[in-house]
């Protein structure tokens, strides 16, 4: 049985974070394990509270999974602060894990901060050099590079700059590029660019899309897929999830993990 680990925050509303990751792992038929970095009080209306874990508690969870169950691939989501980023980076190095997917979660759609501003430099310094794939959306890529990204050429340039920071493969997602009627994700592997395009679906129910997308990539890597294949399957998976909304709650509903 292939195994996948998620190191991320809990979303009590079940649409994003650890909950989205484990549901996605289950759908893609890998055994999911988890290390919680924070608990959020959250629903489709927004984030009502953020309660970070102690970095030692995060490290202990990863240690427990690593020394017994092990993992074929892992992803990081909400990491919240510098201490947690350092603890997670140390554990990745200790276990020698290479199939590492980093979803650089920064701000929830409702505006709540899921990564302290001063932790961005720790993310760049400690975690990016350890990651096989990083999956920023456009606002996250702008924070990582200091660029303003409006065109495809700027997306490509940002991917190149993030690659130079140490990420072996960079996927800049097109979901926020709302002026186009296609959502185009750009993958840069250090040599070539690949493009993954799907028709844009106009919907309010996109809560947790980033988490679900990176979890799907992680599951496919755990099963032995190449980076290109994993991104391609994840793009189709998230498209189907967005196309079949659940209409749960009164606000931004979750994507449908079993679509
Ligand atoms: N809450 C948690 C715990 C998350 O990990 C994420 C991931 O990005 C979010 C919320 C963000 O959700 P949204 O898709 O609504 O921005």
C-alpha 232 to ligand 1 mean position (Å) = 22
Ligand 1 site residues, Cβ closer than 6 angstroms: 8-9, 11, 16-17, 40, 42, 77-78, 105, 108-109, 114, 207-211
Greater model confidence, 256 or 227: 227
pLDDT digits 0-9 by tens, 109-146: 888 999 999 999 999 999 999 999 999 999 999 999 99
Q: Where are the domains of the chain?
A: 3-243
Nearest CA to ligand 1 atom 11: 108
Q: Within 13 Å, how many C-alpha atoms sit on residue 3's CB side?
A: 11
Residues 6+ apart with CB under 8 A from 245: 203, 205, 253, 255, 256
What pTM was computed for the model?
0.97
Q: Which uninterrupted H or E stretch holds 139?
A: helix 138-145
Nearest CA to ligand 1 atom 5: 17
34: three-class secondary structure by DSSP: strand
Residues 6+ apart with CB under 8 A from 67: none
CATH number given to 3-243: 3.40.1190.20
C-alpha–C-alpha distance, residues 27 and 44, integer Å = 22
- 218, 256, 38, 12 alpha-carbon torsion, rounded to 10°: -160
pLDDT at 181: 87
Active-site residue numbers? 173, 206, 208-211
Residues 6+ apart with CB under 8 A from 201: 239, 242, 243
pLDDT digits 0-9 by tens, 70-102: 999 999 999 999 999 999 999 999 999 999 999
C-alpha–C-alpha distance, residues 60 and 54, integer Å = 10
C-alpha 172 to ligand 1 mean position (Å) = 17
C-alpha 94 to ligand 1 mean position (Å) = 28
Q: Is the pLDDT of residue 1 over 80?
A: yes
Tokens representing 28 are 């893609």
- Which of these, 71, 105, 67, 69, lies nearest to 85 by C-alpha position? 105
């Amino acid at each position: 049985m292939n195994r996948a680990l998620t190191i991320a925050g809990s979303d009590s509303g079940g649409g994003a974070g650890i909950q989205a990751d484990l549901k996605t792992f289950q759908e893609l038929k890998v055994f999911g394990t988890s290390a919680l970095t924070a608990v959020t009080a959250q629903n489709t209306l927004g984030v009502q509270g953020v309660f970070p874990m102690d970095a030692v508690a995060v490290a202990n969870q990863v240690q427990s999974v690593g020394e017994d169950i092990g993992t074929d691939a892992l992803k990081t989501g909400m990491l919240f602060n510098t201490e947690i980023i350092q603890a997670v980076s140390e554990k990745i190095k200790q276990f020698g894990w290479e199939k590492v997917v980093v979803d650089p979660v920064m701000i929830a759609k409702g505006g709540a901060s899921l990564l302290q501003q001063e932790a961005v430099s720790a993310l760049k310094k400690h975690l990016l050099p350890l990651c096989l794939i990083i999956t920023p959306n456009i606002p996250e890529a702008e924070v990582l590079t200091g660029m303003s990204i409006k065109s495809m050429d700027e997306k490509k340039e940002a991917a190149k700059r993030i690659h130079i920071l140490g990420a072996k493969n960079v996927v800049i997602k097109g979901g926020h590029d709302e002026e186009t009627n296609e959502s185009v994700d750009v993958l840069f592997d250090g040599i070539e660019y690949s493009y993954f395009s799907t028709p844009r679906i106009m919907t309010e129910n996109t809560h947790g899309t980033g988490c679900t997308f990176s979890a799907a990539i992680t599951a496919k890597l755990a099963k032995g897929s190449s980076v290109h294949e994993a991104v391609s399957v994840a793009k189709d998976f998230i498209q189907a999830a967005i196309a079949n909304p659940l209409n749960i709650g009164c606000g931004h509903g979750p994507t449908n993990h079993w679509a």
